[in-house]
């Protein structure tokens, strides 16, 4: 599956989606002032608070991903040769989306059995 991404990239995408949603909600709320007059101010205030909550949740997600990223081991992808970070026992390369694993039971040795986008590669653990 070409559209699957690494765990860190997926969490960053959710953070970006929340920022854009929050900004859109705040802009949509300000249109209440133009359309409804005085009652529009109440509508604008409600949508402003909802948008700010979305942006704060996004900030929390970005902080959490940043903390996870600092402790994630940096490995070299055996398929494309680029350095990538891996969370958990299985993850995908950030560049070529190859499935990476530390568990030999989950790895496949022969990449001809599976398509190249879903092949697994064993990463030796650094001790």
Residue 81 domain-assigned (yes or no): yes
Residue-level pLDDT at 101: 85
Residue-level pLDDT at 116: 47
Residue-level pLDDT at 21: 95
Q: Indicate if 47 and 91 belong to the same structural domain.
A: no
Q: Indicate if 118 and 86 belong to the same structural domain.
A: yes
Residue pair 104/116 in contact by the 8 Å Cβ criterion: no
Global pTM?
A: 0.72
- The total of other beta-carbon atoms located within 10 Å of residue 92's CB is 23
Range of the domain at 82: 74-122
Q: Indicate if 61 and 78 belong to the same structural domain.
A: no
Residue-level pLDDT at 121: 55
Residue 2 domain-assigned (yes or no): no
DSSP string, the chain: -TT---HHHHHHHHHHHHHHHHHHHHHHHHHHHHHHTHHHHHHHHHHHHHHHHHHHHHHHHHHHHHHHHHHSPEEE-TTT--EEE--SSEEE-TTT--EEES-TTT--S-TTSS-GGG-EEE-PPP-
Q: Indicate if 46 and 86 belong to the same structural domain.
A: no
Q: Indicate if 26 and 15 belong to the same structural domain.
A: yes
User: Over its length of 127 residues, how does the chain's per-residue pLDDT go in tens digits?
Assistant: 566 888 888 899 999 999 999 999 999 999 888 888 888 899 999 999 999 999 999 999 999 999 998 888 888 888 888 898 888 888 888 888 888 888 777 777 654 444 444 455 555 555 4
Q: Indicate if 28 and 64 belong to the same structural domain.
A: yes
> Which two tokens mark 8?
């860190």
């Amino acid at each position: 599956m070409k559209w699957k991404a690494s765990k860190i990239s997926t969490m960053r995408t959710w953070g970006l989606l929340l920022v854009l949603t929050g900004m859109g909600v705040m802009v949509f709320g300000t249109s209440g002032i133009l359309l409804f007059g005085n009652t529009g101010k109440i509508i604008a205030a409600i949508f402003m608070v909802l948008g700010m909550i979305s942006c704060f949740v996004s900030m929390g997600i970005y902080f959490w991903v940043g903390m996870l990223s600092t402790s994630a081991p940096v490995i070299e992808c055996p398929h494309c040769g680029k350095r990538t970070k891996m969370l958990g026992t299985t993850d995908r390369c950030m560049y070529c989306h190859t499935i990476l694993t530390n568990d030999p039971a989950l790895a496949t040795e022969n990449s001809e059995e599976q398509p190249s986008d879903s092949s697994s590669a064993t990463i030796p653990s650094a001790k």
